[in-house]
Amino acid sequence: MDAKGFFAALFDWRFHTLITPKIVSIVYLVGMILIGLGWLGALVSGFSTEPVLGLIVLIVGPVIAVVYLAFWRMTLEFYFAIVRMSDDIHRSGGAPRR
């Protein structure tokens, strides 16, 4: 994705260009990094306050991080699916009439 196309889509006031499919992978990567940094922060905080708490965070923390990552992924997939359905509906001319 080039910068000109990204900014053109970002400032498309009529929403002819959908930006969600272009940035969803970047948003997912940012979420992965933040979840990992959150776990590392909890680990450092746990070991600095109480070694037993640090061990608990070391053992249970990755499981909780993976659960958060799964929910983050499902949320992004939901939004992405909605955008793709909208794009498909607009491309086909709308929903069939009854």
- What is the domain partition of the chain in residue ranges? 22-86
Q: Which residue has the tokens 């799964």?
A: 70
**pLDDT for position 61:** 96
Name the token pair of 69: 């990552």
Give the pLDDT band (50/70/90) at residue 12: confident
Confidence check: pLDDT of 95 > 70: no
CA distances to 7, 83, 90 from 11, rounded to whole Å, are 6, 17, 20
pLDDT digits (tens, 9 = 90+) for 78-90: 999 999 998 888 8
**Which of residues 26 and 3 earns the better pLDDT score?**
26
pLDDT digits (tens, 9 = 90+) for 35-69: 999 999 999 999 999 999 999 999 999 999 999 99
Q: Would the pTM count as exceeding 0.85?
A: no
**pLDDT for position 20:** 86
Give the pLDDT band (50/70/90) at residue 97: low
Pseudo-torsion of CA 31, 33, 34, 37, nearest 10°? Answer: 160
